[in-house]
Amino acid sequence: MSILIDRNTTFIVQGITGREAVSLTRENLAYGSKIVGGVTPGRAGREVYGVPVYDCVRDIASKRKVDGAVVCVPPKFTRDAVFEAIENGIEIIVIVTERIPRLEVAQMVELAALRGARIIGPNCLGIITPDEVKMGGVGGPAADTKKAYSKGSVGIMSRSGGMTTEIANTLTAAGLGQSTAVSIGGDAVIGTSYAELMPLFEADPETKAIAIYSEPGGRMEAELAEWVKDNDSRLPIVAFMAGRFMDEMPGMRFGHAGTIVEGRADTTADKIERMQRSGISVAERIEEIPGLIQQKLAEVN
């Protein structure tokens, strides 16, 4: 099994004729994903690697069931594109676009909650269920994706798209495959946090452990630690926290636009302390993650 997507998931690409979206479409198709259409207003009738292009989401969704959408449109059009997808019954939306105003992201997330949809991102590379499907830019070209990701039982959640693949590659090299990997996005406001994904991983019988890549800034790690304690999670969790040097540099940005340390609760030291108190192991280096997971799995068994 997996979470969010599987080999039967169908999705569309909004903004499909843009340069980034064309490459993303090619990579997803080569991996075996089922892209059933693309949307670019005024470009209906064209094709992108055999995928038909439509003027609007309704033109596709009215003809067939569409499970998801990958949004690759400029920031000023992203809110409208996401609203259009949600109002046409699409339930999983991956937003690749970055630099979207926080208010507009909050509005998208609120509408998704009202309509029973889920947003991943923005400013993310999407989702992958190894050897089945990927939805977004995670992993890059299909050949590279197949080398880095392998089928298995470790779930991945990461605020960095690139580090999602780095962790997967490290796990694969150690003989630990992955169930589902999710690049959740690095902005201050995102659609789905670690804690919101945990119930999905908990319900997946094939997921036996979780690996996390995190960064300074924001409250997601505190929320995750609270969720783990409150729900007595069955899953061993190993996290890597980047940016330890930032504890002496309050107010500094790290990597992503939304990663800003604004107070003690946002610092690396506080995040590590909170996670460790809840039973989450924190690796000093990425390459330590497989060994810590194997150790924790041995303890459980």
Q: Which residues are catalytic?
A: 256
Cα–Cα distance, 185 to 223 (Å, whole number):
16
Among candidate residues 299, 300, 246, the one with its CA nearest the CA of residue 272: 246
Cα–Cα distance, 20 to 95 (Å, whole number):
13
The CB-side HSE value for 152 (13 A sphere, CA atoms) comes to: 21
Cα–Cα distance, 53 to 37 (Å, whole number):
6
Q: 122: cis peptide before it, omega within 30°?
A: yes
- Token output for 143: 């050949």
The answer for 31, left when phi > 0, alpha when psi is -120 to 50, beta otherwise, is: alpha
Give backbone dihedrals phi and psi of 152, rounded to 5 degrees, phi first. -175, -150
